[in-house]
Amino acid sequence: MNIEVLRRRLSTWLLPEDVHERPLAAMERATNQGARLTRQLLSFSRRSSLQPRRVSLAAFLPELSELLWAVLRNRIALSIALDPDTGEIDVDPDELELALLSLATNARDDIPAGGTLRIHAGNLQPGTVVDGDALAPGWVALSVSDTGSGIAPGTLQSIFDPLFTTKPVGQGTGRGLSQVYGFVTQSGGRVTVQSTFGTGTRFTLLFPRRVE
């Protein structure tokens, strides 16, 4: 993501693209290859573990906005909203960042230019029904919604499966949404998805509210 930020800043200096794009592209390929290899090894050896900490979404989301803008590549509008009384949560901040960036990347590839990605955080209303269950009080909802083409009904039930992807060969690994699901559930939370084919998709990450 820092490479994307650097690419965007260098483009404002009016330098010829071939001056900076080739080394940045090489850095990006090497970073992606190293990240993929590391995740595969950790997953295979089952040594990957979460390191939860106290996270205030009121501070976390604004800090993440520059990376999200880099992912969206300035062709998709970004909206971040937070209810004033949104509770804090206990999660691994690095995994939360990765999950949101994965959702933003998927949305970017599905939203036409001029579309919108919206992120909203707030406390869940007591008694809210999720997958047939009425949740007790004390949950925080973090939703990521887009104005993309939506998810085909035939694939909706498989999107969290490891290595499942609808992208062409070489453009998707199928790890992103499985990481999101694994991270949220290991954090004691739940993930829901609502999608209307041809209209857009909303992922909602539900986390237990931190208790002092």
Q: What is the pLDDT of residues 75-125, one digit of tens each?
A: 899 999 999 999 999 999 988 998 999 899 888 888 877 889 999 999 998
CATH number of the domain residue 182 falls in: 3.30.565.10
Q: Is the pLDDT of residue 10 over 50?
A: yes
Please tell me whether residues 73 and 38 are part of one structural domain. no
- Between 43 and 89, where is the model more confident? 89
- Domain assignment of residue 38, given as a range: 1-48
Same domain, residue pair 39 and 133: no
Which secondary-structure segment (H or E) carries 66? helix 57-72
Q: How many domains does the chain have?
A: 2
Q: Are residues 14 and 80 in the same domain?
A: no
Segment among 33-42, 119-128, 160-169 with least mean pLDDT = 160-169
What is the predicted pLDDT for the residue at 54? Answer: 96
Residue 105: how many other CB atoms lie within 10 Å: 15
Q: pTM of the predicted model, to two decimals?
A: 0.73
- Together in a domain, 41 and 129: no
63 CB burial (10 A radius; 0-12, 13-18, 19+)? exposed
Q: Are 30 and 134 contained in the same domain?
A: no
Q: Name residue 94's amino acid.
A: D
**59 and 44 both lie in a single domain:** no
pLDDT value for 176: 67
Whether residues 110 and 178 fall in one domain: yes
How far apart CA 206 and CA 121 sit, in angstroms, is 10
Between CA 98 and CA 122 the distance in angstroms is 20
* Residue that is last in its domain, among 32, 48, 64: 48
Same domain for 90 and 58: yes
Q: 74 is written with which tokens?
A: 């300035």
Tokens representing 98 are 């990765």
Percentage with pLDDT > 70 across the chain:
84
Res 96: pLDDT:
93
The percent of residues above 90 in pLDDT, for the chain, comes to: 32
Residue 55 has pLDDT above 50, yes or no: yes
Neighbouring CB atoms inside 10 A of 95's CB total 20
- Quick one: pLDDT band at residue 172, thresholds 50, 70, 90? very low
Same domain, 140 and 44: no
Binning pLDDT at 50, 70 and 90, where does residue 163 land?
Answer: low
Which of 48, 66, 81 marks a domain boundary?
A: 48
Summary mean pLDDT of the chain: 82
Same structural domain for residues 131 and 158? yes
1 pLDDT band, cuts 50/70/90, is confident
- Phi first, then psi: give them for residue 160, nearest 5 degrees: -90, 0
Whether residues 112 and 26 share a domain: the answer is no
Residues 32 and 97 placed together within one structural domain of the fold: no
